[in-house]
C-alpha cells in the first residue's frame, strides 16, 4: 500500500465495503487488496452462508470451520463471522443423503458463536441417542433470531427428531416449521388426547421444556394442534407474542382457541386463515358463529395487529362476499387495542385466463366480483377509530407465490380506487408477501 493510502483512516475503507454491498466474488477480490481491506471483507464474505446438500457442502463446511484459521495476519477465526446459515437439499443432488442428525446440529451451533439465523430446506432431521447423556445434556442451549424448518421430515417419520432438536435452543424469536413425509403418522387432532401424548412428556430428558419462542409460524394444517400443544408445554407460554398457525378443521381451530386461552393476553400479532372457512360457511352459514367463537380471539385482550389471509376470485362474487363477511366478523371480535389490519389476499383462478390477461380484463372482473366488498370493508375500518393502518398484500392462491410486478401494480390501482377514503386519511398502504 502506498504511503498516501496508509494515511487514510481504516474506518473509511470499512465504510466503503459496507456501502457498496458487493457480492461474494467482489468481496473475495476486496480481501486481496490489502491487509486493511481484509478484516471487513472476510466478515461480510462469511456473514451469510448458503450450503447446497448435506454431504456435498454442509459436512465439508463443518470441517472447514473446525480448522483453527486465525492468526495475527488473518485476524479472528472465520467461525466468528457467520451470522446466517441456510442448508438446502435440491432434487438434482439425488445421491446426497440429506440427513442432519442432532450431533451434527450440535456441532454447528457449538462452532458458530454468533449464529442468529438458521434455515433448513428439504432436510431430514435425525435424533441420535447420545452414548453419554450427561455430556449431551451439558450442552448449553443457544439463542437464535430465526429458525426455519421448511419442507422438513425426520428419519423416524414422527415429530420425535424435531422435538429433540429443539432441545438445543434456549430461545428463538421466530420459529417457522413446515414438515413433510408424515403420511404414515397420524397427528392427534383432539386437544385432550394431545395433553397425554408420549412425545409431549415433561419427564423426557430431551424434551425442550425451557425453550422460549416469541413468534411461531406454520402452514402445515395437520401439524397445528400438535405444534400448539408442544408450545404450551414449554417456557414459550411466557414469551410468545406472534402466532401464525394455519387452522382449517374444527379440531385445529379449537386447538388454537385453547392455546389462546392460555397465552391470549401476551399475543400482540395474530394471523387468521379464512380461505377454507369461506367454502365451509358458504355451504352452511349456521357453522359460521361456531367457527368464529372457537378461534377465541376475544382472549387476545392486548392484540395490536390482525392479519387476515383470504382468497379473492375474479369469478366468484358469492365467495368474495363470504370472505369479507368473515373478515368483518373476525375484526368485530378483536380488542379495541388493534391498530393495524393486514389483508393478505391470494388471487384465485388466475391460470384460467393468464395468457390473455390484461389490466383491463383483470380489473373489470375483480371490480364486478369484489368492488362493493372492498368499499363496504372501508366503512368497517372507518368505524374502528383505533385503526390507523390497513395494509394489503397480494399473492397467488395456487402455490401461495408472489405475483408478478405488473399484476401487483394492477391490483394496487384497483384497491386505491375502492379505498380512496382510507388512502386520503393516510391509513392505506401496500406491502409484499
> Are 36 and 56 contained in the same domain?
no
Query: What pLDDT is stored for residue 249 in this prediction?
Result: 82
Q: What is the DSSP letter of 358?
A: -
> Are 407 and 357 contained in the same domain?
yes
Whether 303 is in a domain gets the answer: yes
Domain end, chosen from 185, 218, 239, is at 185
Is the pLDDT score of 16 beyond 90? no
pLDDT digit string (tens) for 393-421? 998 876 656 677 888 888 898 999 999 99
Reported confidence tier of residue 250, pLDDT bands at 50, 70, 90: confident
Reported confidence tier of residue 6, pLDDT bands at 50, 70, 90: low
> Are 69 and 38 contained in the same domain?
no
> Are 41 and 51 contained in the same domain?
no
> Are 26 and 53 contained in the same domain?
no
Tell me the mean pLDDT in the region 169-179. 94
3-state class of 18 per DSSP? helix
> Are 14 and 56 contained in the same domain?
no
Least confident among 21-35, 205-219, 292-306, 383-397: 21-35
Reported confidence tier of residue 62, pLDDT bands at 50, 70, 90: very high
> Are 327 and 344 contained in the same domain?
yes
Whether 4 is in a domain gets the answer: no
Whether 401 is in a domain gets the answer: yes
pLDDT: is 115 or 367 the higher one? 115
> Are 141 and 32 contained in the same domain?
no
CATH number at residue 99: 3.80.10
Whether 254 is in a domain gets the answer: no
Strand partners, 100: 125
397 Cβ contact list (under 8 Å, min separation 6):
275, 311, 346, 347, 348
> Are 287 and 404 contained in the same domain?
yes
Number of folded domains that form the chain = 3
Query: What pLDDT is stored for residue 94 in this prediction?
Result: 45
Distance in angstroms (rounded) separating the CA atoms of residues 367 and 227: 40
Is the pLDDT score of 72 beyond 60? no
Least confident among 70-84, 194-208, 344-358, 393-407: 344-358
Reported confidence tier of residue 93, pLDDT bands at 50, 70, 90: very low
Task: Quickly tell me which residue has 380461505 as its cell.
Answer: 275
367 Cβ contact list (under 8 Å, min separation 6):
414
Tell me the mean pLDDT in the region 62-91. 79
pLDDT: is 335 or 158 the higher one? 335
The answer to whether residues 324 and 377 touch, using CB atoms and an 8 Å cutoff, is yes
Sign of the dihedral through C-alpha 297, 298, 301, 303: positive
The answer to whether residues 297 and 330 touch, using CB atoms and an 8 Å cutoff, is yes
End-to-end CA distance of the chain: 47
Query: What pLDDT is stored for residue 316 in this prediction?
Result: 84
Whether 226 is in a domain gets the answer: no
Query: What pLDDT is stored for residue 187 in this prediction?
Result: 65
> Are 13 and 104 contained in the same domain?
no
Whether 211 is in a domain gets the answer: no
Nearest 5°: phi and psi at 232?
-70, -20
Taking Cα atoms as reference points, which of 347, 362, 424, 364 lies closest to residue 390? Answer: 424
Query: What pLDDT is stored for residue 95 in this prediction?
Result: 47
186 Cβ contact list (under 8 Å, min separation 6):
none
Tell me the mean pLDDT in the region 113-136. 86
Give the cell for residue 163: 422435538
Whether 192 is in a domain gets the answer: no
Whether 199 is in a domain gets the answer: no
Task: Quickly tell me which residue has 392479519 as its cell.
Answer: 307
Tell me the mean pLDDT in the region 101-126. 93
> Are 276 and 425 contained in the same domain?
yes
Is the pLDDT score of 259 beyond 60? yes
Taking Cα atoms as reference points, which of 344, 348, 433 lies closest to residue 392? Answer: 344
Q: How far is CA 118 from the centre of its chain?
A: 12
Distance in angstroms (rounded) separating the CA atoms of residues 37 and 43: 10
Residues spanned by the domain of 73: 47-185
> Are 29 and 53 contained in the same domain?
no
- Say if strands 84-88 and 99-101 run parallel, antiparallel, or are unpaired: unpaired
Is the pLDDT score of 100 beyond 90? yes
State the DSSP string of 62-116. HHHHHS---BTTTBS-GGGT--EEEEE--TT-TTS--EEEHHHHHHHHHH-TT--
Rg (CA), the chain: 25
Domain end, chosen from 185, 216, 249, is at 185
Domain end, chosen from 159, 185, 211, is at 185
Q: 281: how many CB neighbours lie within 10 A of its CB?
A: 22
pLDDT: is 365 or 260 the higher one? 260
Taking Cα atoms as reference points, which of 258, 205, 204, 203 lies closest to residue 227? Answer: 258
Give the cell for residue 58: 454442509
pLDDT digit string (tens) for 343-352? 999 888 766 5
Amino acid at each position: 500500500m502506498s504511503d498516501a493510502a496508509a494515511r487514510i483512516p481504516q474506518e473509511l475503507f470499512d465504510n466503503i465495503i459496507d456501502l457498496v454491498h458487493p457480492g461474494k466474488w467482489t468481496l473475495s477480490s476486496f480481501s486481496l487488496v490489502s491487509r486493511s481491506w481484509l478484516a471487513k471483507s472476510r466478515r461480510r464474505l462469511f456473514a451469510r452462508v448458503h450450503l447446497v446438500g448435506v454431504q456435498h457442502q454442509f459436512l465439508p463446511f463443518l470441517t472447514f470451520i473446525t480448522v483453527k484459521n486465525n492468526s495475527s495476519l488473518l485476524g479472528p477465526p472465520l467461525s466468528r463471522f457467520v451470522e446466517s446459515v441456510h442448508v438446502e437439499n435440491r432434487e438434482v443432488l439425488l445421491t446426497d443423503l440429506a440427513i442432519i442428525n442432532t450431533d451434527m446440529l450440535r456441532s454447528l451451533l457449538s462452532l458458530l458463536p454468533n449464529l442468529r439465523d438458521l434455515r433448513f430446506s428439504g432436510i431430514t432431521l435425525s435424533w441420535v441417542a447420545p452414548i453419554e447423556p450427561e455430556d449431551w445434556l451439558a450442552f448449553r442451549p443457544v439463542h437464535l433470531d430465526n429458525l426455519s424448518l421448511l419442507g422438513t421430515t425426520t428419519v423416524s417419520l414422527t415429530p420425535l427428531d424435531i422435538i429433540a432438536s429443539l432441545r438445543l435452543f434456549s430461545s428463538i424469536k421466530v420459529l417457522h416449521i413446515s414438515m413433510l413425509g408424515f403420511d404414515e403418522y397420524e397427528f392427534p387432532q383432539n386437544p385432550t388426547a394431545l395433553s397425554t401424548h408420549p412425545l409431549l412428556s415433561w419427564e423426557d430428558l430431551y424434551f425442550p421444556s425451557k425453550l422460549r419462542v416469541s413468534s411461531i409460524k406454520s402452514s402445515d394444517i395437520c401439524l397445528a394442534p400438535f405444534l400448539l400443544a408442544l408450545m404450551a408445554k414449554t417456557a414459550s407460554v411466557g414469551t410468545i407474542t406472534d402466532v401464525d398457525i394455519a387452522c382449517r378443521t374444527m379440531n385445529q381451530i379449537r386447538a388454537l382457541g385453547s392455546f389462546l386461552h392460555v397465552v391470549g393476553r401476551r399475543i400482540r400479532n395474530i394471523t387468521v386463515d379464512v380461505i377454507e372457512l369461506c367454502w365451509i360457511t358458504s355451504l352452511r352459514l349456521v357453522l359460521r358463529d361456531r367457527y368464529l367463537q372457537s378461534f377465541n380471539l376475544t382472549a387476545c385482550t392486548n392484540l395490536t395487529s390482525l392479519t387476515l389471509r383470504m382468497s379473492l376470485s375474479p369469478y366468484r362474487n358469492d365467495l368474495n362476499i363470504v370472505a369479507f363477511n368473515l373478515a368483518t366478523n373476525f375484526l368485530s371480535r378483536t380488542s379495541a387495542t388493534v391498530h393495524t389490519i393486514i389483508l393478505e389476499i391470494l388471487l384465485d383462478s388466475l391460470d384460467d385466463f393468464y395468457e390473455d390477461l390484461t389490466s383491463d380484463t383483470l380489473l373489470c372482473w375483480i371490480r364486478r366480483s369484489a368492488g362493493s366488498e372492498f368499499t363496504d370493508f372501508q366503512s368497517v375500518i372507518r368505524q374502528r377509530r383505533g385503526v390507523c393502518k390497513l395494509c394489503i398484500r397480494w399473492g397467488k392462491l395456487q402455490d401461495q407465490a408472489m405475483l408478478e410486478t405488473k399484476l401487483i401494480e394492477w391490483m394496487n390501482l384497483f384497491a386505491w380506487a375502492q379505498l380512496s377514503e382510507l388512502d386520503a386519511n393516510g391509513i392505506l398502504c401496500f406491502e409484499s408477501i
